[in-house]
Amino acid sequence: AGGDLLNYVRKRKKLDEEEAKVLFKQIIQGLGYIHKKRILHRDIKLDNILLDGKGRVKIADFSAAYIG
């Protein structure tokens, strides 16, 4: 519903520090979770970070992931 983070940032030109902190924290928590499950994403970029309707981060595109 919210699209990807690349378009989100482009639309706003820049993010204020508080909003960036919230998004970055969610990304780090998500990566921490998948790493605990022994999954390495290997293609983290703004296009692969999605936002749901409430602005929560969803990590997408695990096609290049390594599962160990």
Q: Are 9 and 46 in contact (CB under 8 A)?
A: yes
Active site residue 43: yes
Choosing from 4, 16, 43, 61, the catalytic residue is 43
The set of residues, in sequence order, having a beta carbon less than 8 Å from that of 41 and lying 6+ positions away, is 31, 34, 48, 59, 62, 64, 65
By annotation, the residues acting in catalysis are: 43
